[in-house]
Amino acid sequence: MNSTASTDELPSSTAPLAGVRVVEVSSFVAAPLCGMTLAALGADVIRVDPIGGAADYRRWPVTDGNESIYWAGLNKGKRSLAADFRSPEAQNLIRDLIIDAGVLVTNAAGRSWLDYDELAAIRPDLIHVQVLGRADGTGAVDYTVNAAAGFPQVTGAENVSTPVNHVLPAWDVSCGLYAALSVASAVYRREITGAGTRVVLPLEDVAFATVGNLGYIAEAQLGRPVREKVGNSVYGTYGADFATSDGARFMLVALTPRHFRDLTELTGTAEAVAALESALDVDFRDEGTRFEHRHVLNSLFGAWFSRHTADEVETALGGTSVLHERYRTFAELAADPRVTDNPMFHKLDQPRIGSYHAPSTPMSFDGRYPEVRPAPANGDDTAEVLTEHLGLTDDEIDALAASGTIRISQKEHA
172 is catalytic: yes
Q: Crossing angle, helix 142-149 and helix 170-193, to 10 degrees?
A: 100
E-assigned strands of 260-376? 323-326, 345-350, 354-359, 369-370
For residue 137, the number of C-alpha atoms closer than 13 Å in the C-beta half-sphere is 3
How many angstroms separate the CA atoms of 260 and 253, rounded? 9
Name the residue type at position 91.
Answer: Q
- Helix, strand, coil abundance in the chain, percent, nearest 5: 45, 15, 40
298 backbone dihedrals φ, ψ, rounded to 5°? -60, -40
Query: Contact at 8 Å (CB) between 261 and 283?
Result: no
Residues across the chain:
414
Which residues share a beta bridge with 128? 104, 198
Instruction: Catalytic residue, from 84, 142, 172, 380: name it.
Output: 172
Query: Contact at 8 Å (CB) between 74 and 33?
Result: yes
Active site residues: 172
